[in-house]
Amino acid sequence: MQFSEYMEQWLYGAEGYYASYRPIGKKGDFYTAVSTSKFFGGSIANHIIKRIDDGFLRSDSLICEIGAHHGYLLADIIEFIHTLRPQLVQSLRFGIIERFENLRMAQQNYFDESFGNAVSLEHYSDLCELNEQSTFFIANEIFDAFSCELFYKGKIAHVENHEIHFDIDDPKIAALAQKYQQDRGEIALGYESFAHAMQKSSKRFEFMSFDYGELSARSDFSIRVYQTHQTFPLFDEALNRSESFGKSDITYDVNFTHVKDAYAESGVACAQYATQLVALVEMGILDLLAMLKEHAGEDIYAQELEKVKILITPSLMGERFKMIRFVKE
């Protein structure tokens, strides 16, 4: 099979990594911004409120997370909206796009435990099910989880018995590699269809996503496997691909220019591209911390500040991760 099919099965097959609940954080394979601090979601909530105040989003908009895992991020956003502007929790709608039924059940259970009957959670299995007037989409580390082809000097890879061979001609992938000046590396699939589906899903929307990568493709392979907070390049001799298949996360750096081009093809403009540090500070993460200090005291403030430092320190997550934001007027 081609590598993209292999990766699709690795992540989303019946026994794939994302087909069942996997812990994230200390007990999992990796950390995310969501597992690091609730103030990540709080900053996004603050931004949503500002977009309602400036008239772009309606007060009855759908706030929709894509690829929500356990639902922690959307729940954090709701919690901060309730703190900052409680009446909006009654007028806004909240939803998750999740293809796996068992994860939808876990998300619903978490929302029932967190909010009881105060918040109604809507579930969708695909973007194409939406027909909205006003939507705010949020995703964390989604573009690195799209399947990709591996490209090396004019050939793409196929996989046989977990062994990777570069021996397939694919003019379409070769054209993308030339466009992004790659003689080797990952060529993501599905960005264009994802952008098109989102463009059709809502008359007006803003989409914000955080991921790791750059505005240009790397000059080498970035694809790697995460196992209990250890990183193994896919071609590392120490990695047993057969044993890791479906049991560990597989990911690669995002070429954000490819993402921007995919949305541009659907007529959706990129409103902002920034480091996570810049994005979170602009969205008011430090202001939220100041509010916490005022109301909760120095000790709790100091604890949360240490977590937020991981999100915004340049040498940690602050510059490695990027925020990209698209707006359909």
pLDDT at site 235: 96
Q: What is the DSSP letter of 216?
A: S
**pLDDT surpasses 80 at 25:** no
Whether the Cβ atoms of residue 3 and residue 241 lie closer than 8 Å to each other: no
Residues 168 and 158: their CA atoms lie apart, in Å, by: 7
What's the count of helices (H) and strands (E) in the chain, helices before strands? 13, 15
- Burial (CB < 10 A; 0-12, 13-18, 19+), residue 286, is middle
Whether the Cβ atoms of residue 51 and residue 290 lie closer than 8 Å to each other: no
| Alpha carbon 110 to chain centroid, angstroms | 20
pLDDT at site 98: 95
**pLDDT surpasses 60 at 157:** yes
The identity of residue 88, as a single letter, is L
pLDDT at site 229: 66
pLDDT at site 12: 94
The identity of residue 171, as a single letter, is P
Cβ contacts of 271 within 8 Å, gap of 6 or more? 206, 325, 326, 327
**pLDDT surpasses 90 at 69:** no
pLDDT at site 15: 85
The identity of residue 9, as a single letter, is Q
For the record, the structure tokens of 43 come out as 């900053």
Residues 50 and 46: their CA atoms lie apart, in Å, by: 6
Residues 110 and 107: their CA atoms lie apart, in Å, by: 5
pLDDT at site 23: 53
Provide the mean pLDDT of the chain. Answer: 94
> Region 118-125: what's the mean pLDDT?
97
Between 5-9, 21-25, 197-201, 210-214, the lowest mean confidence (pLDDT) is in 21-25
pLDDT at site 31: 54
- State percent of the chain over pLDDT 70: 96
Residues 91 and 320: their CA atoms lie apart, in Å, by: 36
- Cα–Cα–Cα angle for 51, 282, 95, rounded to 5 degrees: 45
The identity of residue 54, as a single letter, is D
Whether the Cβ atoms of residue 171 and residue 242 lie closer than 8 Å to each other: no
Closest-CA residue to 223 (of 10, 77, 1, 69): 10
For the record, the structure tokens of 135 come out as 């939507």
Whether the Cβ atoms of residue 53 and residue 73 lie closer than 8 Å to each other: no
pLDDT at site 19: 80
**pLDDT surpasses 60 at 28:** no
For the record, the structure tokens of 252 come out as 């690669």
pLDDT at site 43: 98
> Region 123-150: what's the mean pLDDT?
97
Cβ contacts of 265 within 8 Å, gap of 6 or more? 192, 195, 196
**pLDDT surpasses 90 at 27:** no
pLDDT at site 29: 45
> Region 22-28: what's the mean pLDDT?
48
**pLDDT surpasses 70 at 313:** yes
> Region 134-148: what's the mean pLDDT?
97
228 three-state secondary structure: coil
pLDDT in tens, 225-280: 988 768 999 999 999 999 999 999 999 999 999 999 999 999 999 999 999 999 99
**pLDDT surpasses 60 at 120:** yes
pLDDT at site 35: 82
A 10 A CB-CB count for 245 gives 19
| Sequential DSSP letters for 191-260 | HHHHHHHHHHHEEEEEEEEEEEEESS--SS---EEEETTEEEETT-TT--HHHHTTTSEEE--EEHHHHH
**pLDDT surpasses 50 at 180:** yes
